[in-house]
Amino acid sequence: MAILKVENLNKRFGNVQAVDNISFKVEEGQVLSLLGPSGCGKTTTLRCLAGFEIPDKGKIFLDNRDITNMSPEQRGIGMVFQSYALWPHMTVYGNLSFGLQIRKLDKKEIDERIKRALGIVRLSGYEKRYPRQLSGGQQQRIAMARALVIEPALMLLDEPLSNLDAQLREEMRFEFIELQRKLGITAIYVTHDQAEAMVISDRIIILNQGRIIQIGTPKEIYESPHNCFVAGFIAVTSFIKGEISKIDKDNIVAVKTEDDLLIYAKRPGLKTGDKVSIAIRINTVQFAEKDKYAADKKNIFRGKILQASYLGDIVDYRIQLGRWVIRTNESSKINYKIGDEVEIYLPPEELIVTPDEV
Ligand code: ATP
């Protein structure tokens, strides 16, 4: 069952269309991430859902109630912010009880709920501490407990982990997933970190300039991006532009570039003459060992190493291929130097072809 339904949401600030006619649903117990570059409208969308902004147009339904014009307290939505937004002058107990007092719960019920929420985030006994007496990770967990304590129908999380260092961030990601599954939380998670969105989400919305570019599972978005923007945003990707010159059986298309490279890739639904981009993921390029691909000479090209950045177990190469530069990571056991001529193989099944927008 869809717990949240958003229909044709619009929000404008002056001449910026921050949210441009977006519609989507979230099913019960699922996590939907809003992913996109800075300024694409993620926070504004979330603020409209929470009731901190009133949309210019559109409707928001939570559990079949029209909440579009309700105050934040009436909505039954919990929110976790990037800054945690804990009140510094209040203890953990004060921070957690605030939302419950507004809802006029009695003291016994408040105490029970706070005890339960602190147990869930593994901070039992921390009631009397002030936020300044907690580490970043603990503050983040208290912010989570404060959202949980109101037993929300929906939780909104706005980059909740971005203030944490890389290691803690990764740990907290898995803690969030565990908590979300255990409690069956329905959540909308805002991030500009594609790895975080991939790990956490059942479905991802890719936003750009206030518009939905694609909605799908992490696998769908990664493997079948609708266009170059999505392909480039979800993973480090190099692009080669060309035109479909021929289509073989099994939907293998031949893409001819301006500098006369002929690259084969698998992609249904295109026709001869279509202008396309080939998206090449960083882990797609293979260095062709002599004779290894003798049976199939397709997609073997001569390139030149432009840059080689040593990263420990891997080396990040930039390779000149015709007039294009493609990037790949390779085990540092293989050691090419700048200026080396190399043979590279682009496996047709692993290349992503997206039609260029006209
Ligand atoms: P970030 O990842 O940087 O937080 P975002 O995707 O969350 O970005 P929003 O904060 O939703 O983006 O902003 C969307 C657009 O609306 C931006 O161009 C922003 O400058 C503009 N904007 C947001 N809030 C306001 C406001 N209160 N007044 C004017 N413009 C605003």
Cβ(167) – ligand 1 distance below 6 Å: no
Q: How far apart are CA 316 and CA 292, in angstroms?
A: 23
More confident residue, 215 or 153: 215
Bridge pairing between strands 154-158 and 77-80: parallel
More confident residue, 183 or 202: 202
Residue 8 predicted with pLDDT over 60: yes
Question: What pLDDT is attached to residue 104?
Answer: 82
Measured by CA distance, the residue closest to atom 29 of ligand 1 is 13
* Cβ count within 10 A of residue 249: 5
Cβ(47) – ligand 1 distance below 6 Å: no
* Rounded average pLDDT over 76-104: 86
Cα-to-centroid distance, 41 and ligand 1 (Å): 6
Structure tokens at 328: 């790949």
- Long-range CB contacts (< 8 A, 24+ apart) of 112-117? 113/149, 113/151, 114/145, 114/149, 116/149, 117/145, 117/146, 117/148, 117/149
Mutate which of 44, 81, 193, 206 for ligand 1? The one with the most ligand atoms within 8 Å of its CB, which is 44
Cα-to-centroid distance, 19 and ligand 1 (Å): 9
Cα-to-centroid distance, 12 and ligand 1 (Å): 10
Confidence of residue 85 (pLDDT cuts 50, 70, 90): confident
**pLDDT tens-digit readout, 122-132:** 889 999 999 99
> Which residues, including other chains, have CB under 8 Å from residue 285's CB and lie 6 or more apart?
319, 326, 328, 344, 345, 346
**What is the rounded average pLDDT for all residues in the chain?**
89
Question: What pLDDT is attached to residue 290?
Answer: 55
Cβ(16) – ligand 1 distance below 6 Å: yes
Measured by CA distance, the residue closest to atom 26 of ligand 1 is 13
* Cβ count within 10 A of residue 349: 10
* Rounded average pLDDT over 88-101: 90
More confident residue, 169 or 223: 223
Residue 93 predicted with pLDDT over 80: yes
What torsion, rounded to 10 degrees, do the Cα atoms 96, 97, 103, 106 define?
140
Strand arrangement, sheet containing 300-310: 286-287, 341-345, 300-310, 314-321, 324-331
More confident residue, 81 or 60: 60
Measured by CA distance, the residue closest to atom 2 of ligand 1 is 38
Structure tokens at 346: 């682009």
Cβ(237) – ligand 1 distance below 6 Å: no
Question: What pLDDT is attached to residue 271?
Answer: 87
Mutate which of 17, 33, 43, 157 for ligand 1? The one with the most ligand atoms within 8 Å of its CB, which is 43
Q: How far apart are CA 247 and CA 266, in angstroms?
A: 9
Question: What pLDDT is attached to residue 59?
Answer: 97
Cβ(15) – ligand 1 distance below 6 Å: no
Q: How far apart are CA 189 and CA 66, in angstroms?
A: 21
Give the closest residue to 323 by CA, choosing from 277, 261, 263, 265: 261
Q: How far apart are CA 269 and CA 262, in angstroms?
A: 19
Place of tokens 């990601």: 173
Q: How far apart are CA 313 and CA 59, in angstroms?
A: 51
Burial code of 1-17, b = ≥16 C-beta within 10 A, e = fewer?
ebbbbbeebbbeeeeeb
**pLDDT tens-digit readout, 292-342:** 554 567 899 999 999 999 999 999 999 999 999 999 998 888 889 999 999
Give the closest residue to 91 by CA, choosing from 126, 136, 138: 126
> What is the share, in percent, of the chain residues with pLDDT greater than 70?
97
State the closest ligand 1 atom to the C-alpha of 40, by its place in the atom list counted from 1. Answer: 6
Structure tokens at 300: 């073997």
Tell me if the pTM is above 0.95: no
State the closest ligand 1 atom to the C-alpha of 192, by its place in the atom list counted from 1. Answer: 2
Question: What pLDDT is attached to residue 122?
Answer: 84
